[in-house]
Amino acid sequence: MENGAMLSTIQGVYRDGSVQLTEQPRGIPDDTPVIVTFLSSSAVDLRSRGIDEAEAADLRARLSTFAEDWDSPDMNAYDDYDAAKAKLCLGVNPRL
């Protein structure tokens, strides 16, 4: 790192008191200071819902046909659907 001007981002998970990185950082010397930001997990615990790995793979395969449409920028309109609907019910114009 020259003059402290470089920032690198690497994903990881916090487990058992330490952060486990998904990949090895390149060109970063040991003892380099870091800042860790904890993100809320959007993962769904399928096991707690009675879905095993085979069922999850089957669901993923069947839902993959929707992926292109679901990931379309046009679908962003539905990201905050409940909040937008509540505003409409209250007579609030969401464009103001």
Domain positions in the chain are 12-38+49-89
| Whether the predicted model's global pTM rises above the 0.75 cut | no
Q: Which one, of 42, 35, 48, lies nearest residue 4 by Cα?
A: 35
Residue pLDDT, tens place only, 16-62: 999 999 888 888 899 989 888 888 877 788 888 899 999 999 998 99
How far is Cα 92 from Cα 87, in angstroms, rounded to an integer?
5
Q: Quick check: 4 and 15 in contact, CB under 8 A? A: no
Residue pLDDT, tens place only, 9-21: 888 888 899 999 9
Q: Which residues partner with 18 through β-bridges?
A: 15
Q: Which one, of 61, 53, 2, lies nearest residue 28 by Cα?
A: 2
Q: How far apart are the first and last CA of the chain?
A: 46
pLDDT at 81: 79
